[in-house]
Structures are given as structure tokens and as C-alpha cells.
């Protein structure tokens, strides 16, 4: 079994309230969930122009985990209202401790 973890650091556009931040982030999370991954906003909610999104997936095939994480990263990078500052990933497999 392989577990893939993706952490996406985002810079949001002209966000001036927590309500508007949620309005920008919520559709991104919904689109990622359609890819059958677990996803959450994990960053500090009080930082209005920044967001940290965590994505995870599980599969018996390392290549499948990598492909799913690649797809998630590409999808977020293509979002118009945000800028992807960094993406960090890790795949944990049977030989990892």
C-alpha cells in the first residue's frame, strides 16, 4: 500500500475577508474531491491572502499515487484566482518506516 501526501501553498488574489477567502477556496476543494482524494484547508485561516491545502490518496500502485498527485497539482496550478507558490509531496510505501 502506498499513501501519497501533497501540500499546496497558495497565494490568493485580492481577498479582503474570511468570507471571501472561503468563497475562493471552497470550489477548489470541491473540484479536488471529484478526483476521489481526501482534501482539506490546513493552513492558518486568519491569513487572508494565503492558504495551505493538504491532499492525500491511497493505492496499491506507486504509479497511481504519483499520477493522482500530479493531476491534483496541475488542477490547482491552473486555477485563475490563485497562484501556486509551492507544492511539496511525499509517497510512503511498504519499505518506509
**Tens digit of each residue's pLDDT (9 = 90 or more) over 26-82:** 999 999 999 999 999 988 877 888 999 999 999 999 999 999 999 999 999 999 889
Grid cell listed for 3: 499513501
Question: Distance between CA atoms of 82 and 37, rounded to whole angstroms?
Answer: 20
What mean pLDDT comes out for the span 10-28?
90
**What is the pairing mode between strands 38-41 and 82-92?**
unpaired
- SS3 of residue 76 by DSSP: helix
Residue 97: pLDDT band (50, 70, 90) is low
Q: Considering the entire predicted model, what is its pTM?
A: 0.89
Amino acid at each position: 500500500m502506498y499513501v501519497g501526501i501533497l501540500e499546496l501553498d497558495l497565494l490568493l488574489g485580492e481577498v479582503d475577508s474570511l468570507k471571501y477567502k472561503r468563497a475562493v477556496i471552497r470550489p477548489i476543494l470541491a473540484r479536488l474531491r471529484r478526483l476521489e482524494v481526501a482534501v482539506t484547508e490546513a493552513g492558518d485561516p486568519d491569513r487572508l491572502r494565503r492558504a495551505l491545502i493538504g491532499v492525500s490518496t491511497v493505492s496499491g500502485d506507486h504509479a497511481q499515487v504519483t499520477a493522482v498527485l500530479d493531476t491534483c497539482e496541475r488542477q490547482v496550478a491552473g486555477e485563475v484566482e490563485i497562484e501556486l507558490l509551492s507544492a511539496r509531496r511525499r509517497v510512503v510505501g511498504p519499505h518506509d518506516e
